[in-house]
Amino acid sequence: MEVGMINDEVVSSGSGHSAHGRSLSPSPSTASHGDPLLPVAENWCHTQVKVVKFNYMWTINNFSFCREEMGEVLKSSTFSAGCNDKLKWCLRINPKGLDEESRDYLSLYLLLVQCNKSEVRAKFKFSILNAKREETKAMESQRAYRFVQGKDWGFKKFIRRDFLLDETNGLLPGDRLSIFCEVSVVAETVNVTGQTNVSQLFKVPPCRLADDMQGLFDKKQFSDFTLICKSDSGAPSQTFYIHKAILSARSRVFSAMFEHHMQESDTNMTTVDDIEPEVMRELLVYMYTGQAKYIEQMAQSLIAAADKYQLDRLKVMCEQALCYQLTTDNACLTLMLADMYSAAQLRAHAINFINVNATEVMSSEGWEDLVREHPKLLEEVFRALATQQTPPVVLVQPPKKRPKHCTY
């Protein structure tokens, strides 16, 4: 086990039970080690257990000022899987433990606040986001536990307080505790029956399209177009050998370039001098594979490239990365970027962030640039601040673990 963590005992805090709760043992493994080519009966039934998955982020600012008495509770707001879901949940912590045994730990629980059924079963996972917005110190239930209204399950010894408060561990950036919770609720079971004459099951290998396309880009096989990228920063220029068919399928801008009798189409070569070589490489890798590994480091430059070549999905991915990186120091710059590249979702998030953190943002250097160079944006920010009507905020995907990028 990692330092600061305990074993994976899942306990109830004692709502309607003793203060120590009950230890729950994990379900036995049901993994099969048989032949992958299994016989198939003429008549069959598949039972599908439907599971609803959702997640929730709870951020506690100024965590070091939280209640210090053992057993005292801090609760999040309620949340659910969707607006029509009748199950309402919340997270609750005991900043200094639930009882004498756990007084040196932070206790963390998932509580079923409202329920329209006699009971539900759910699995859950808790983690803390570090300064890099990465999941750390994760603990999860080993099976689905029985919840009734007012019942909670969780970890009495989730993490040691001294480990959590130690600045060198990076778990409280800016004295902010970010708890990420993933919940899987068993919804219902469905039976599907049928008949078949197939004598064997076929195991389909996983799709390797992204890997194969990455290999095609790296090896330059059958390339029919040359892209020379020059740097404004003095770095050496870089030459990319690429494929017209792929670029024209992925970008309307490249498609127009190749379809019309332009100089680039006739010479099978073009020069780009407004995008840095490393950013262009990331852009091309995305066009081949649908993946962008370094988007967080390059989001500001990559959103400009995505806008130029009309790569809408990559542009929204950059908006998401920039949204995760919002601070009081860069909020105004982010808003100006969103305005420059017509990034509607990022614009809404930035205005909302400035509205919530107005005092700190107005003390930043970026605020002076906003006042001096972007009066229309400033007017929009003040209108939202004055009326307390923030722009509609579109929820983004949860932080790392990184989401898998779509294949084609």
The CATH number of whichever domain residue 121 belongs to comes to 2.60.210.10
| pLDDT score of 132 | 87
Two tokens, residue 83:
């607006």
- For residues 152 and 116, membership in a common domain is answered with yes
> Which of 93-107, 136-150, 320-334, 391-405 is the least confident region?
391-405
Residue 200 to residue 41: CA distance in whole angstroms: 10
Q: For the chain, what is the mean pLDDT?
A: 84
Residue 339 to residue 376: CA distance in whole angstroms: 10
Asked if residue 17 belongs to a domain, the reply is no
pLDDT at 42 over 90: no
Please state the rounded mean pLDDT for residues 23-34: 38
Residue 170 to residue 73: CA distance in whole angstroms: 24
- Tally of CB atoms within 10 A around 129: 23
Residue 279 to residue 258: CA distance in whole angstroms: 22
Residue 165 to residue 98: CA distance in whole angstroms: 18
pLDDT at 393 over 70: no
Asked if residue 305 belongs to a domain, the reply is yes
Question: If you search the block for the tokens 């689905």, which residue do you land on?
Answer: 144
Question: If you search the block for the tokens 């404004």, which residue do you land on?
Answer: 232
| pLDDT score of 407 | 40
pLDDT at 7 over 70: no
**What single DSSP character describes residue 375?**
H
Asked if residue 296 belongs to a domain, the reply is yes
Residue 148 to residue 142: CA distance in whole angstroms: 19
pTM: 0.49
- For residues 355 and 219, membership in a common domain is answered with yes
pLDDT at 23 over 50: no
- For residues 108 and 252, membership in a common domain is answered with no
| pLDDT score of 75 | 94
Cα 386 to chain center, whole Å? 32
Give the tens place of pLDDT for each residue, 225-269: 999 999 887 778 999 999 999 999 999 999 998 888 677 777 899
| pLDDT score of 265 | 72
Two tokens, residue 255:
């498609």
- For residues 227 and 303, membership in a common domain is answered with yes
Residue 285 to residue 214: CA distance in whole angstroms: 7
Give the tens place of pLDDT for each residue, 56-105: 999 999 998 886 678 789 999 999 998 778 899 999 999 999 999 999 99
Residue 402 to residue 399: CA distance in whole angstroms: 7
Residue 397 to residue 399: CA distance in whole angstroms: 7
Residue 107 to residue 169: CA distance in whole angstroms: 19
Residue 125 to residue 139: CA distance in whole angstroms: 6
Residue predicted with more confidence, 54 or 8:
54
| pLDDT score of 291 | 94
Q: Residue 294's domain spans which residues?
A: 209-387
Residue 33 to residue 359: CA distance in whole angstroms: 61
Residue predicted with more confidence, 232 or 326:
326
How many domains are contained in the chain?
2
Q: Please count the CA atoms within 13 angstroms of the CA of 37 that sit on its side-chain side.
A: 4
Residue 72 to residue 304: CA distance in whole angstroms: 49
Residue 30 to residue 75: CA distance in whole angstroms: 37
Asked if residue 66 belongs to a domain, the reply is yes
Please state the rounded mean pLDDT for residues 179-199: 84
- For residues 360 and 222, membership in a common domain is answered with yes
